[in-house]
Amino acid sequence: MAKAISSPNLYDKVALKYPIHRAFDITILVLLISLLVYRLLYISNHGFAWLLALLCETCFTFTWVLTVSSKWNPVEYKTYPERLSQKIQELPPVDIFVTTADPVLEPPILTVNTVISLLAVDYPADKLACYVSDDGCSPTTYYSLVEASKFAKLWAPFCKKHNIQVRAPFRYFSSEVPLNNSSEFQQEYNKMKDEYEELASKINDAVEKSIDGNILSGDFAAFSNIERKNHPTIIKVVWENKAGISDELPHLIYISREKRPQHPHHYKAGAMNVLTRVSGMMTNAPFMLNLDCDMFVNNPKIVCHAMCLLLGSRNEMESGFVQFPQYFYDGLKDDPYGNQFEVWHKYIGNGIVGIQGPFYGGTGCFHRRKVIYGSCPRDVGIQAKSLTPVHAITTSSLLLKIFGNSKEFVRSAAQALQGKANMSPQILPNLIEAAHRIAGCGYEYGTGWGKEVGWQYGSATEDILTGLKIHARGWRSVLCSPDPRAFLGCAPRVGPISMTQQKRWATGLLEILISERNPIIATLTARLQFRQCLAYLWILIWGLRSIPEICYAVLPAYCIITNSSFLPKPYEPAMYIHVALFLSYVIYSLLEYLETGLSIRAWWNNQRMARMNATNAWFFGVISVFLKILRISGTVFEVTQKDQSSDNGGDEGRFTFDASPIFVPGTTILLLQLTAFVMGFGGMQLPSVDDASGLGEILCSVLVVICFWPFVKGLFGKGKYGIPLSTICKSSLLSLSFVYLVTSSSMGQL
């Protein structure tokens, strides 16, 4: 392990003060409670619409309580990587994991740029090992890595010599011409650019020609006659730093784990556990970084920033893992799909840091290996060095039961649990046979993988579940936000892909909430702090929030159709509560966006997408989990399509649709509002005695239509910009059925 000496702190923990924000938080909470009290006091004077509004607003109040709790104590960390040399005599090894699952949805050129940027970071190369998991078992991906390793031998020295900050070549060469005008640099720059263009050309040609698996030979023979979901383990050492030289490239290992149709493979969590075991067998670094294939390194000192937090605290309990915020490059102007999360990171993210630490985000995270192996703070798992020989035998049996029947791997796991690095250099090719055994699809049966140790199974959001397990053991986590930003990835650039991603998140989060591993049980039976539990509940209820969101969106149309009300009349004093609440929230949320440096348009786009995601994607997440509970169908991990290109043919930000049923709820809500307008202004409303709808219901219905304006344009759009006729027909049928049911019910009560 690293050896520490006396020197200044490696990081500072800074408490952030937002007094105006706290005032708004309290004001809105008081107004919400006042609204609920008003509803309860006058519930006997009103009908079903009033009761439904009360239930929805109760849910919104609960959500706001969770939000305020999560944001109340914002904290940020400032790291000083330049002090590492004073504090740490020997830097610890780090294993790096990059995961890719589909060479079509995740083009190899993206994976290659991420890997190249990692191989060129400012950290001793003999302390790094990069493992790439290819769940697509693609010979094209392997070929791309082989070619990339050749380019990286030139690229890494070039970056370090000239202190290049952006070390993903596609990003560097697509930016403006560098300011260094020396002839030596220009010559090397042009040479590197030509080399990268040749690399990109080779990879793109391989993708287009699609390497034939039936004629592969030599180094590619392992890929012959295999199926993507039915193949043995393939492990290839692409590059080995045999001499352990700090200025060479780090190790680069390709892994495609065994897959068989009759064995569950647990999607990304299963791939991460295989990477953990194989790396434990080969290099066994005490720290691990995991990245998605599209998240390239944007700050070359990123490993040093993480080490400041992992090695600089007096108690390692304070940093079970270090999470870096997920930011994106070439984001669409004004964030039309609401998926860049700038404001979320600044306020909610930093707020959760002030409790027990940020959630594990699935990418851009440094883990302690022993924490992933199930170690608890102050009780560092099973320490054989302190046990008697008899107990050591029992401990060995227990380790075999938890970690599997590979004695070689169990020895490495015992080292990791004691916080020891692999001190003796290994010849990687000699370990491949043993690594094959622990990467097999049957290795985990009867072990603790996915339950007690490793990345957790049972949810499409394995990252949140794994982080929850770590926090429940008593560990804290840290959020590191260096300048420049640590990693940059690509956000979905079209509507259907963004919606699909949101649906997967809502599905996985709800799976956690209804499981026995939810944060409430973890707080009662383990070491999860109460407010951290509330923070987890804030994100886990995303899917359930779709129900009150849909009901509240439909409520104005319902009231207009049935000529009932859920709002006080304009002349009643209670209307001031609604107006004050609406204006307070608008001003507060707008203030957050402006303080973050975003535009009013970006604020509106995010507000609009929040409504659309909740009523469409999140609602389908609830349906997916409901069908899983009924055992009608299982949830499916849907890989998000990655796109390196920022050229969308001049239609950036325009909302697109497809035939997916995910757009049916939003279209139905819109058609209901339009139907209500026709009935209201056409004099077709039902008769009312003394609780008729008024201006408030009409304005709310107009606001719903404005929020769903992309759907309005979709009704008249063509091609991918238009809502498919099949979706419109389904929504029309649902809308007419709704109108018929509510009118029939209301007429029966008259």
**Each residue's pLDDT tens digit, 687-723:** 665 677 788 999 999 999 999 999 999 999 999 999 9
User: Cα separation of 366 and 102, whole Å?
Assistant: 24
Q: Closest Cα to residue 10, out of 305, 302, 272?
A: 305
Is 130 a residue whose pLDDT tops 70? yes
Is 244 a residue whose pLDDT tops 50? yes
Q: Is 292 assigned a ligand-binding role in the annotation?
A: yes
Is 553 a residue whose pLDDT tops 80? yes
Share of the chain above pLDDT 70, in %: 91
**pTM reported for the whole predicted model:** 0.93
- Residue 181 — very low, low, confident or very high, per pLDDT cuts 50/70/90? confident
Check residue 387 and give its pLDDT: 32
Q: Is 135 assigned a ligand-binding role in the annotation?
A: yes
Q: What is the pLDDT of residues 347-388, one digit of tens each?
A: 999 999 999 999 999 999 999 999 999 999 864 344 433 333
Residues near 238 by beta carbon (within 8 Å), at least 6 away in sequence: 142, 145, 146, 149, 252, 253, 254
Is 422 a residue whose pLDDT tops 70? no
- Residue 571 — very low, low, confident or very high, per pLDDT cuts 50/70/90? confident
25 is an active site residue: no
Instruction: Name the CATH code of domain 103-519 (choices 3.30.565.10, 3.90.1150.10, 3.90.550.10, 3.40.50.2000).
Output: 3.90.550.10
Check residue 405 and give its pLDDT: 92
Of 135, 335, 643, 691, which one is the catalytic site residue? 135
The alpha carbons of the chain give a radius of gyration, in whole angstroms, of 28
Q: What is the pLDDT of residues 494-542, one digit of tens each?
A: 878 889 999 999 999 999 999 999 999 999 999 999 999 999 999 999 9
Check residue 394 and give its pLDDT: 41
Contact 713, 721 (CB under 8 A): yes
Q: Which residue did the predictor score with more confidence, 243 or 504? A: 504
Q: Is 25 assigned a ligand-binding role in the annotation?
A: no
Check residue 389 and give its pLDDT: 34
- Residue 636 — very low, low, confident or very high, per pLDDT cuts 50/70/90? low
Mean pLDDT of the chain: 90
Is 392 a residue whose pLDDT tops 50? no
Of 95, 102, 294, 463, which one is the catalytic site residue? 463
Q: Closest Cα to residue 273, out of 462, 461, 145?
A: 462
Is 267 a residue whose pLDDT tops 50? yes
User: Cα separation of 184 and 279, whole Å?
Assistant: 40
Is 4 a residue whose pLDDT tops 90? no
Check residue 391 and give its pLDDT: 33
User: Cα separation of 685 and 169, whole Å?
Assistant: 64
Beta bridge partners of 96: 130, 289
For residue 345, give both structure tokens.
Answer: 């990171």
CATH code 3.90.550.10 region(s) in the chain: 103-519
Q: What is the pLDDT of residues 659-687, one digit of tens each?
A: 999 999 999 999 999 999 999 887 777 66
- Residue 271 — very low, low, confident or very high, per pLDDT cuts 50/70/90? very high
463 is an active site residue: yes
Question: What are the b/e assignments for 469-499, b being 16+ CB within 10 Å?
Answer: bbbbbbbbbbbbbbeebbbbbbbbbbbbbbb
